[in-house]
Amino acid sequence: MITIKTDAEIALMRESGRLTKNVLDLIGREIRVGMSTKDLDQIAYDYIKSCGATPSFLGYSGFPASICASIDDMVVHGIPSDDEIIKDGQIVSIDVGVEYNGWQGDAARTFMVGNVSAEKRKLVKVTEECFFRAIERLKDGTPLGDIGYAVQSHAEANGFSVVRALVGHGIGKEMHEDPSVPNYGKKGTGIRLKKGMAIAIEPMINAGVFQVDFMSDGWGVRTRDRRPSAHYENTVVITDSGVEILTL
């Protein structure tokens, strides 16, 4: 069931969104060659708890960490580990959720560490652009399919592919609510977005094929051809004239 948020509820989501943004900003300042992904997880956990908030991912369906840390060909849901050391030239996608006063924020960024190849730099740039293309014309009454169309067309125009097996989602008191928000599709199709709907739009873009493999740990998702993938996500709320980004 899709829920419409009141102005008071959106105000509460702004707070969880602000904290989510702050976690990613903090990781962006701290990430470097030689750190483990578990180091990044600890940074996120400590900050979230210091704010009186809760790491939404920790314990979610058994997930054992506060962030997802996905390197290079890991699309999403990488489990942070002391044994996974960040190397020069890698891209690291960090996805984080924060619950504050009962409301959720969810966002992701892909960070470039050290001397990153031209292909990876372009991939990270285009993935972020895909998000902003998706929200350019969104407003009350826009068909949901316009989001996927915008993401897919921009990614493919740049020689990349869009993951089909994973999608964005509604968000509010729960991390994952209706509707599903695919990053592919046809313009003019799907439900009409309404003022007060909150959704997480999250392009997941691969340098190679769109197909992915699900790892034996039950969480990690890798590109099938093991070429790199990037992830960019924000929580947004639909307004009369467009969208408000709550995590930026």
Tens-digit pLDDT profile for residues 81-137: 999 999 999 999 999 999 999 999 999 999 999 999 999 999 999 999 999 999 998
Q: What DSSP element (H or E) covers 94?
A: strand 91-100
Backbone angles phi, psi at 241, to 5 degrees: -105, -5
Domain boundaries, the chain: 7-245
List, run by run, the mean pLDDT of 10-residue segments along the chain (248 residues): 96 98 98 98 98 98 98 98 98 98 98 98 98 96 97 98 98 98 97 98 98 97 98 97 96
User: Among candidates 59, 57, 61, which has minimal Cα distance to 70?
Assistant: 57
Kindly report the average pLDDT of the chain as a whole number: 98
What pLDDT does residue 65 have? Answer: 98
Token pair recorded at residue 89: 């030239």
What pLDDT does residue 150 have? Answer: 98
- Could you count the other beta carbons within 10 Å of the beta carbon of residue 145? 17
What pLDDT does residue 71 have? Answer: 98
What pLDDT does residue 112 have? Answer: 98
What distance in Å separates the CA atoms of residue 180 and residue 188, rounded to the nearest whole number? 16
What pLDDT does residue 143 have? Answer: 97
CATH class, domain 7-245, is alpha beta
Token pair recorded at residue 197: 């709907």
What pLDDT does residue 135 have? Answer: 97
